[in-house]
Amino acid sequence: MNELLVTPRLVSSPVWKDLPVEVTDALVIGSGVAGLRAAIAAAEWGRVMVLAKDRLAETNSQYAQGGVAAALAEDDSYEKHAEDTLAAGQGMADPDAVRFLVTEGARRVKELVEWGGNFDCEGNRLLLTQEGGHSHRRIVHAGGDATGREIQSVLLRRAHAMPSIRLRENAFVLDLVGHDGRVCGALVHRDDGKACVIWARAVILASGGAGQVYRETTNPSVATADGEALAFRAGAVLRDMEFVQFHPTTFYVAGAARKLVSEAVRGEGAYLRDARGERFMPSYHARAELAPRDVVSRSILAQMRKTGTTHVFLDLTHLDPEAMRRRFPGLADLCREYHIDITREGVPVHPSAHYMIGGVRVDKFGRSNLKGLYACGEVASSGVHGANRLGSNSLLECLVYGASAGESAFECDEPPSAGQVLGSMPGDATAGPMATTPEIEDARQSLRSLMWRAVGIERDGDGLRAAERQILHWSSYLLPYCFAVTRGVELQNMLTTARLIVRSAIVRQETRGVHFRRDFPNRDDEHFRRSLVLWRDSEGRLKSAIESPGGHPDRDVSR
């Protein structure tokens, strides 16, 4: 088995001198909340181009049913919000990053209201709800369970109104372009089927998450870990990739797409019951249904094993039926489509991969270790989530760190000339040594099933090592291949990111937050209250190290 797999610098093989070059000041990859907020901030100082892989609205943000957390109530405070966030992070969240998040958060939410955001209110005041892990009612919602869609709509309207922002749909980024530790743009597959280079002073990566790496996920089909793989191939440092958050409650009906059922449903008083009708969460945690997400997910898994079933039920029948229909119209409509009445019967749910906590390591200004490359939102590791993201902090992170990345990108120096850099980029490579075209869909589904089985809610060393061997085998012949279709490139990105998740999960020999090891069931602060960082060296080898609290690798754990 090739344990020393070389990851190619590029998935493409262009003749660089023949490619058209477009120029902008800031290139934003991703059109979700983080990308749009970054673009709006960057547009204050220069020209901005925003690239959407699919439609502008087809993002993880669009499907975010949960709210956005901010200390807005009179009995709440920044300090209390920070305490809850740090507690959820289980010793891994960066206090300075968390402080920046919560102190800037209220301002960013109020800003959305000023820009026309239509949030749920009681009279003239924002309606604040409570979710698991939060000690106070501080969650702002829109349309009951359509908060992400509303925030994205607000930001899209503002971006469309700014003449310095150009929005482009169906633009798939193949590779980041750069040389000698500097990123200067991206190679893009346009909607006309042709490739071009977009040259930029700053590239802001806001491409979202990696949920499609798993068979069961709340994420849309576009969430194929592209940003993580792009950054890794370019030489960026990634951090905390073992921390993948699984949402406890995903709508689980045969023949239905997996849909997130917001944590706010439990926050409003819904119970979890097993197939026998028994409410089981009080026997697992003192906070019952409002326990942290990792606890609820594992508890559901354990209860399914006990009852020999594939799902449990979310019970709203004891709550005011009209209030529940008004509060959660999206859930009511979804259940009605499958002949389920939420006021009379339980909603079948099951845990699914939901949020990538790890990602490109950045500071509070969104800066990566590569000059000219910034990252924000789910693709980034800002340090605010630690080992377990507190619910409704993700949209807040997108707003706060998106704005910060867009503002700070102005500080980046002008890049070298396109001719100088493109002349040094590798190109004209030949496809991998394969006689036939790989079957993309079979490989994708095999990878997703493997990740769900071996690198899911519960993990162990034997399963992780077997998964790593299989991924290395697939990667050995699929990564060098030059695919002519984006589905193939997505597969390569998924394989690359899956490898980083598995390697990190193998190294972290403890249980902490969303990372649960059956063979190491206890938390080990002495050895593992630190982050694991990974990067691609100049020869294409995967390097990894335990990072000291000061942010510097102090113990090499590369294979």
Phi then psi dihedrals of residue 511, to 5 deg: -110, 125
Q: Is 196 contained in some domain? A: yes
Determine the 3-state secondary structure of 321 from DSSP. Answer: helix
Q: Is 139 contained in some domain? A: no
- pLDDT at position 1 is 43
Domain that holds residue 298: 245-353
Q: Are residues 287 and 340 in the same domain?
A: yes
Amino acid 447 reads L
Nearest C-alpha neighbor of 53 from the set 136, 174, 152: 174
| 5's tokens | 């797999």
Determine the 3-state secondary structure of 356 from DSSP. Answer: strand
Q: Are residues 419 and 498 in the same domain?
A: yes
Q: Are residues 460 and 348 in the same domain?
A: no
Q: What is the pLDDT of residues 476-496, one digit of tens each?
A: 999 999 898 899 999 999 999
Q: Which of 138, 158, 233, 293 is catalytic?
A: 293
Q: Higher pLDDT residue, 129 or 159?
A: 159
60 touches 378 (CB < 8 A): yes
Q: Are residues 177 and 236 in the same domain?
A: yes
What's the alpha-carbon Rg for the chain, to the nearest Å? Answer: 22
348 touches 252 (CB < 8 A): yes
HSE of 209, CA atoms in CB hemisphere, 13 A: 31
Residue with tokens 């590369």, as numbered in its chain: 558
- In the chain, the number of structural domains is 2
Q: Are residues 424 and 488 in the same domain?
A: yes
- pLDDT at position 427 is 65
Q: Is 528 contained in some domain? A: no
Q: What is the pLDDT of residues 201-226, one digit of tens each?
A: 999 999 999 999 999 998 989 999 99
Q: Are residues 149 and 55 in the same domain?
A: yes
Q: Is 468 contained in some domain? A: yes
Q: Are residues 320 and 239 in the same domain?
A: no
Q: Find the CATH number of the domain harbouring 303.
A: 3.90.700.10
Q: What is the pLDDT of residues 325-384, one digit of tens each?
A: 888 888 899 999 999 999 899 999 999 999 999 999 999 999 999 999 999 999 999 999
Among residues of the chain, what percentage have pLDDT more than 90? 71
Alpha carbon separation from 364 to 172, 205, 264, 418 (Å, rounded): 27, 14, 29, 29
243 touches 250 (CB < 8 A): no
Q: Are residues 452 and 314 in the same domain?
A: no
| 515's tokens | 């990372």
CA distance 20 to 198: 9
Please state, as a whole number, how many other Cβ atoms lie within 10 Å of the Cβ of residue 310: 11
166 touches 49 (CB < 8 A): yes
Q: Are residues 361 and 492 in the same domain?
A: yes
Amino acid 101 reads L
pLDDT for 559 beyond 70: no
Provide the pairing of β-strand 195-205 with 21-29: parallel
Q: What is the pLDDT of residues 395-453, one digit of tens each?
A: 999 999 999 999 999 888 888 888 878 878 876 444 555 666 789 999 999 999 999 99
Q: Find the CATH number of the domain harbouring 17.
A: 3.50.50.60
Q: Is 104 contained in some domain? A: no
pTM check: above 0.85: yes
| 22's tokens | 């477009």
- pLDDT at position 412 is 86
Amino acid 387 reads A
Q: Are residues 385 and 420 in the same domain?
A: yes
Determine the 3-state secondary structure of 183 from DSSP. Answer: strand
Q: Is 169 contained in some domain? A: yes
| 319's tokens | 């709550």
138 is catalytic: no
Residues 6+ apart with CB under 8 A from 33: 59, 61, 64, 148, 151, 152, 155, 377, 395, 398, 399, 402
Q: Are residues 403 and 314 in the same domain?
A: no
Nearest C-alpha neighbor of 43 from the set 154, 176, 158: 158
Q: Are residues 150 and 5 in the same domain?
A: yes
- pLDDT at position 222 is 92
Q: Is 461 contained in some domain? A: yes
Q: Is 310 contained in some domain? A: yes
Q: What is the pLDDT of residues 279-309, one digit of tens each?
A: 999 999 999 998 888 889 999 999 999 999 9
Provide the pairing of β-strand 139-140 with 531-536: unpaired
